[in-house]
């Protein structure tokens, strides 16, 4: 059994997290926005379609 840290990137102020599958999820803080996406490009396009967010600084 192996453990892998999730890959995280930020698009338009939203966090995109790659989890096992691979599956990509878009988050605003701790809340998932939208569905699970099979490709990172789809998750990024979804994040870009949302209102621009400023990353939190805390």
Higher pLDDT, 57 or 42: 42
**SS3 of 36-54:** CECCHHHHHHHHHHCCCCC
What is the distance between the terminal CA atoms of the chain, rounded to a whole angstrom? Answer: 34
pLDDT exceeds cutoff 60 at 56:
no
- For Cα atoms 6, 55, 14, give the angle at the middle one, nearest 5 degrees: 50
Instruction: Give the pLDDT confidence score for residue 29 in this predicted structure.
Output: 92
Domain spans in the chain, listed from the N-terminal domain onward: 7-49
5-39: pLDDT as tens digits: 779 999 999 999 999 878 999 999 999 999 999 99
């Amino acid at each position: 059994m192996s453990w892998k840290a999730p890959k995280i990137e930020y698009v338009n102020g939203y966090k995109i997290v790659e989890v096992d599958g691979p599956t990509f999820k878009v988050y605003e803080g701790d809340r998932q926005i939208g569905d699970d996406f099979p490709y990172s490009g789809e998750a990024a396009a979804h994040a870009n379609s949302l209102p621009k967010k400023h990353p939190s600084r805390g």
